[in-house]
Amino acid sequence: MKQPELGKKVSELRKAKGMTQEELVEKCNLNVRTVQRIEAGEVTPRSYTVKALFEALEYHWENEKTDENQITAKPSPLLYGAVGAAILYFFLSILELGLDQENLGGELSYSLIGYSLIKTGSYMFYVVFLLGWLKLVKTFPNTILNIALWAMIGANVIWYLIDMISLFTDAISFGDLYMLKISSFGFLYAFLGFGYLAYKKQFSSVATIMGALLIVAGALMFTGVGVFLALIPWTLAEIVQIGLMVYLIQKIGRNSSPELSF
């Protein structure tokens, strides 16, 4: 069954049972906005989402045929690249942080070229990771996270350019803007945290833990009083983000319920 027939069917079944959209999402672990878009025919859900909806409505969904393109959908190569990029970013960012402290102290152990290459890799791999999440947001809609991801990508581009200018010219002082950079990233990490919290109905405790860790890390960075302490929740959040991304990649194209059992 294709849209808009699918959306009409879901709406008819829901109304026949006297259920509101809020009551339906409670039974199938989706969010209200997703159900609204499906019923309006704005999106074509994947087969496991259709299954979850029809099971919640006690309808024999196997009798219905979903869009063939949805059933045979395969994860984008970008998602696999994003997982690899996230792992590389994780290690490069820690090395970059140490070199930043050396640079602030005036005793850089790496050559300027080597330092700039590490920074380039750190920024580049993190942006690829964020692009992977943007790809996932298309499958698992989340407006807050979508905005936060684009804001973080924009900040990475801006601060990368500022870092390169400060390293190779005298136009900008690296030290003068360093805490502003940390604070801005702290704000955006907290923003991402709120975005992941919006997934709590779909992904239960995983989204809550990941969102909370990013908010704590972001708050410590934003205030500037616990930059190194922020590495603890930030590290844990990065690990959970990578793990959830791997799980969602595996879920794409499967004919199973979207519920997670963490």
Q: How far apart are the first and last CA of the chain?
A: 32
Q: Where are the alpha helices (DSSP H) in the chain?
A: 5-16, 21-28, 32-39, 47-56, 68-71, 77-105, 112-139, 143-168, 174-197, 200-223, 231-251
Tokens of 201: 């109905």
Structure tokens at 252: 């794409």
User: What are the CA-CA distances from residue 14 to residues 54, 63, 91, 99 (Å)?
Assistant: 9, 18, 49, 58
Rounded Cα–Cα distance for residues 182 and 140 (Å): 30
* Contact status, residue 174 vs residue 182, Cβ threshold 8 Å: no
Q: What is the pLDDT of residue 44?
A: 82
pLDDT at 27 over 60: yes
The pLDDT-based confidence of 214 (bands split at 50, 70, 90) is very high
Q: What is the pLDDT of residue 62?
A: 54
The DSSP call for residue 2 is -
The tens digit of pLDDT for each residue in 117-165 reads 999 999 999 999 999 999 999 888 899 999 999 999 999 999 999 999 9
Provide the whole-model pTM: 0.71
User: pLDDT: is 12 or 251 the higher one?
Assistant: 12
Predicted local distance difference test score (pLDDT) of residue 69: 42
Position 259 pLDDT exceeds 60: no
Give pLDDT, residue 1: 64
Q: Which of 54-63, 147-156, 162-171 is the least confident region?
A: 54-63
pLDDT of 9 reads 86
CA 110 to CA 127: how far, in whole Å? 24
Q: Name the band, by pLDDT with cuts 50, 70 and 90, for residue 85.
A: very high
- Tokens encoding 21: 């959209």
200-212 residue pLDDT tens: 877 778 889 999 9
